[in-house]
Chain A
């Protein structure tokens, strides 16, 4: 948020002038918006140089005008109530709203539930709180690890309610931060379920508002396959699990993706035994195979975890009448019954389904695909006839392109760039992803098999560079030498295709690679950059240095070398 604001001043005037907006209106709308903008800066940070104080006075006047304008429908300054209406105040909507204000758009955000959406209330945020606890428990219980430090700690224990409170307190705090940041910027937060009534027209509750552009950012809910009965006590989804109402002795986790894996980390640290049920033939599908192999060796095998792969949980019945939770497994391919499990609880982590029901998509002739709203690479919504719906965008989990909080936010920012006159296409291959187990897993770009497939198709060569955390001073100082970083790149031009890291603080280490991919930085350039010693970032540094690029270093890179 802070960085966005610091940029805002210089940018505010330019794109506004260029906006493809009724040009006659541009001048009058420009001034008030700009002033309102100053005002929000003052509100947000409380600094008040004399110049801005004056502008604030203007701003107050201007607000009154705007209010009267919207009341007196069809005021001359505008033909819409808002420049941008965002349906859904999750992380995607929030990111879009902040950027929209920065760009000078009058913005409203509609939320039918709580601000913050899945990530803040039922996802990334509370799970990080639980994982922070599990990481510490794991360390304290690891006698060998403690001894290696010369530390003596005994009988590490935990208070379940205390852990649960930490998670809910964190969610509350972040939710308030999010709400305040939007309020401070002057974003109208409208309460009610939003639905699209027609082009540029949105309904929430009993109110109807118009907006020049509309972003759908309604997110997703846990996906529960049929046959599974969720009772919220013994058969649960991540929504329930994050409340940590109980720590079962034995819990089956259906699905071994990010969510399942993170919860296995939490539950095993708190004393549960875990059984994974995975439909694919391998645990942790979606990760680079080499990383998932290592992850299995570190995160699964030594822990109290077993697994069934290549099976579906066709039926799960909650514990009742003195019977445990029953899980029927069928072969994923032949569909024949394979096994029955009896466990104390089951967590359904089979992915997430888009939350797009009741959005009024039929009003604009948009047909969802498995619930997802079809969009093009600019997040513009595609209708049933394959045509773009003007002024309507969809970001985040609801479009299913990349179901990650920061991807939604990036997509939102991309949309705002577009509606303010700058064409922008988000490079999804530069969006990093992370799994916050202990140690963490992170990745950006292509996996090795994906890269090889692409290479074969497009006729280029692929090389792999690898480094181990075993050689990193900082990792060894922490007694956490277990880890691997792997880079997939083109030896002919030094393009980074993908980077995968498994090891201590991997989630924080990936950004050097993701930024390089986003900015198109080549290995031969970035390998000359300096890293502080001793830091974990040297793992990535070694990765760049280990790469063998055929072409000579670029001119700029060489000149840098000379300068050094």
Chain B
């Protein structure tokens, strides 16, 4: 640290703004150098007064020897503004510090090619300087053709305060400000943030109908006009909350939409935030669902038998899923980058449990290999840890397949969301007596449950899932293998 900072410091201390400008050249490594490139050499430029273009480019200067590109922190001048020699025009952030860049020439900042917050390589044109006001338009056209992505610079709207009206009289004479629009030219009243946004999104603020108090244009109006969702803030600076206290009452600052009266805001807990994040992420995975009815008479009978030994239904289902997965490894695979998928070496069945209003998925590792009793024991241990919030990360995020069971609530079927990073999730409904007809047409009443699997269609196809479910159903219907 000491070395890098002191090298910067020594440069800084030697330099002083005023004296430097006059000597600055593109050769000097000075921190305040400004590089201007003119299409005409300065000497000829002076003689030939009829030269068509006196538009200079403002370059991204090299502010340090290691700098390869710079970020525009802010433009101190706006487009169309007059510049005097030596004035700061733009602030550039290099790898070391932010520096003001000053102009060599008098003139007008005709166009901004690289906007605030954007980066440009050293030497690239970041703006255009016109010598006279008349050339601003020309420069803008040039800028429009020059800049690829940020071509919009040329059509920038005037951002200075609205045109001066020297007659405040009409505004005062009006009975209510809302009806004011009717009587003649009334200037647009826009809030400071609305003006900032309008500048940013290149919206003509004069064309926006204000919906704020007294008909003023608010930030929301500008966002609506710019066609962006007001709730999403694409701005770099932190979005402070929208104006809070109406009629002096204490309210809580939130993002849009406005709250209904008396509603309360409860910030997400860490667990809720994590769930929220995972759920949003899951939207990027193309999924499909396949349902399958499974007879559970044999399973129920087995459960009755092993229950006294501490075996839970969760362990039975996990074991069954694990064994089925072992035969269909593709369902146990995961696709993380969208380009390849990986067969997981272990079959780790995550089981969703609701805990204190939260949701967590403790993982039964090697569900196919462990026996029922060990699995049950393990499961109890995990649930205990989950309740006391002592699960270790590998105990809740190492799952390769998820099981979610809402059967105990009487749910007959449901649809689960695939957690990111896994190939499939199984939603287990409740088992209930159902009238079934066998292939000979005889009716009988059997206990039946519906399982519904959601899978990542990038890696698991319909036939894969169907085959997996068939295997799973066979295991459940002939559960003796579970106890082996």
Contact = CB atoms under 8 A, between A and B. Distances in A.
A271 B241 contact: yes
Contacts of A293: 76, 88, 100
B192 A471 contact: no
A470 B214 contact: no
B74 A297 contact: yes
A247 B240 contact: no
Interface string B264-299: 010110100100000000000000000000000000
A546 B4 contact: no
Contacts of A145: 238
A109 B53 CA distance: 75
Contacts of B240: 137-138, 141, 268-269, 271, 303-304
Nearest to B247: A246
A468 B8 contact: yes
A155 B266 CA distance: 8
A125 interface: no
A306 B242 CA distance: 16
Nearest to B13: A465
Q: Is the interface of B mostly helix, strand, loop or mixed?
A: loop
Q: Is the interface of A mostly helix, strand, loop or mixed?
A: mixed
Contacts of A149: none
Nearest to B197: A304
B16 A464 contact: yes
Contact of B12 (A324, A545, A546): A546
Contacts of A339: 161, 164-165
A138 B5 contact: no
B243 A154 contact: no
Given A159-B250, A273-B193, A473 B243 contact: no
Interface string A124-161: 00000000000001100111110000001111111111
A271 B243 contact: yes
Contacts of B84: none
B6 A155 contact: no
Given A271-B240, A471-B5, A157 B253 contact: yes
A342 B171 contact: yes
A153 to B, nearest CB: 7
Given A342-B216, A466-B13, A247 B244 contact: yes
Interface in A521-564: 542, 545-548
Interface string B250-265: 1111100000000001
B29 interface: no
Contact of B248 (A245, A336, A340, A472): A245
Contacts of B168: 326, 328, 337, 340
B34 to A, nearest CB: 16
Interface string A469-486: 011110000000000000
B385 interface: no
A162 interface: yes
Contact of A160 (B17, B238, B242, B250): B250
A428 B307 CA distance: 87
B1 interface: yes
A337 B177 contact: no
A82 interface: no
Contacts of A454: none
B237 interface: yes
Contacts of B172: 323, 326
Nearest to B88: A293
B323 interface: no
Nearest to B193: A304
A157 B214 contact: no
A274 interface: yes
Contacts of A275: 192
B248 A466 contact: no
Interface in A440-496: 463-468, 470-473
Interface in B203-221: 212-214, 216, 219
A290 B88 CA distance: 11
B16 A141 contact: no
A306 B196 contact: yes
B13 A154 contact: no
Interface in A327-384: 328, 336-342, 344
Nearest to A465: B13
Contacts of A542: 5-6, 9
B192 A306 contact: yes
Interface string A242-276: 00011111100000000000000000111111110
A546 B237 contact: no
B191 interface: yes
A157 B265 contact: yes
A157 B13 contact: no
A145 B240 CA distance: 13
Nearest to A141: B238
A324 B213 contact: yes
Contact of A246 (B165, B176, B216, B245): B245
Interface residues of B, number: 62
A291 to B, nearest CB: 13
B13 A547 contact: yes
A129 B84 CA distance: 43
A467 B243 contact: no
Contacts of A197: none
A323 B244 contact: no
Contact of B243 (A158, A249, A336, A546): A249
Interface string A292-316: 0100010001111110100000000
B192 A250 contact: yes
B213 A467 contact: no
B192 A467 contact: no
A247 B192 CA distance: 16
B239 interface: yes
A407 B189 CA distance: 43
A329 to B, nearest CB: 9
B192 A154 contact: no
B9 A546 contact: yes
Interface string B63-75: 0000000000110
A193 B446 CA distance: 97
Contacts of B88: 293
A72 interface: no
B345 interface: no
A89 to B, nearest CB: 33
A548 B4 CA distance: 18
A250 B192 CA distance: 8
Contacts of B273: 152, 154
Most chain B CB within a 10 A radius of its CB, from A144, A248, A272, A328: A272
Contacts of A46: none
B97 A162 contact: no
Given A301-B74, A342-B214, A546-B9, A157 B241 contact: yes
A153 B265 CA distance: 13
B252 A158 contact: yes
Nearest to B245: A247
B214 A464 contact: no
B484 interface: no
Given A152-B268, A275-B192, A470-B96, 4 more contacts: A141-B239, A155-B254, A160-B251, A342-B189
Interface of A: 137-138, 141-145, 152-162, 245-250, 268-275, 290, 293, 297, 301-306, 308, 322-324, 326, 328, 336-342, 344, 463-468, 470-473, 542, 545-548
27 contacts: A141-B239, A152-B268, A157-B244, A158-B252, A160-B245, A160-B251, A161-B250, A249-B191, A250-B191, A250-B243, A271-B241, A272-B243, A273-B192, A273-B219, A274-B192, A301-B74, A304-B193, A304-B240, A324-B214, A338-B164, A342-B189, A342-B216, A464-B16, A467-B12, A470-B97, A542-B5, A547-B13
Interface of B: 1, 4-6, 8-10, 12-13, 16-17, 73-74, 76, 88, 91, 96-98, 100, 161, 164-166, 168, 171-172, 176-177, 189, 191-193, 195-196, 212-214, 216, 219, 236-245, 248-254, 265, 267-268, 270, 273
